[in-house]
Amino acid sequence: MKSLLFLSFFIFLLGCDDGVKDEIYNENNTSVSGGVVYNTDEQPINGLYRVYYPDGTVKMEIQSKNGKPDGNGRFYNEDGELYFQGTFTDGKPNGTVYNYYADGSVHNEMNYADGVKQGAQKSYDKDGKLMVEVIFQDGEPVSGYAIIKDEKTEFSAEELAELK
């Protein structure tokens, strides 16, 4: 759930437009406004875009088109370990995106079609065992279950409604 919240927050940030350009620490001295990344000439970024931690470690690298994520994207923690990767189209996740534990094993596997949850969304424990699976159809959860103490428990309609 934490990873789903992170991705939702990330997508929310991409769509925000408060009229203020926030400065971000990166290789191009770019700015962000309305979910679009601009270079110093106030032109939307095209191509590989990177953001760094203050110590110079890569925080994010993503392909961009017209200032929006478009292509492969990767996010790293302060130790340089990959914790998120996925593909974007016109600023929206598209296809399967992954969140990782610090050891590199998959924590969450999420599927999107043009920014909308579609198909199986899965969460794994640190040993790689499937713990939660929720099936989405056009952004709506239609079924799902959790495995608790090796017992599969189906989600109720009320529980599924909370996952929107």
Domain 2-114 belongs in CATH node 2.20.110: yes
β-sheet bridge partners, residue 112: 95, 117
- The string of pLDDT tens digits covering residues 39-68 is 777 888 888 888 888 888 899 999 999 989
DSSP3 helix / strand / coil % (the chain, rounded to 5): 10, 50, 35
β-sheet bridge partners, residue 117: 112
- The string of pLDDT tens digits covering residues 66-79 is 989 999 999 999 99
pTM for this predicted structure: 0.74
The domain spans of the chain are: 2-114
Per the model's pLDDT, the better-predicted residue between 90 and 10 turns out to be 90
With beta carbons less than 8 A apart as the criterion, state whether 50 and 60 touch: yes
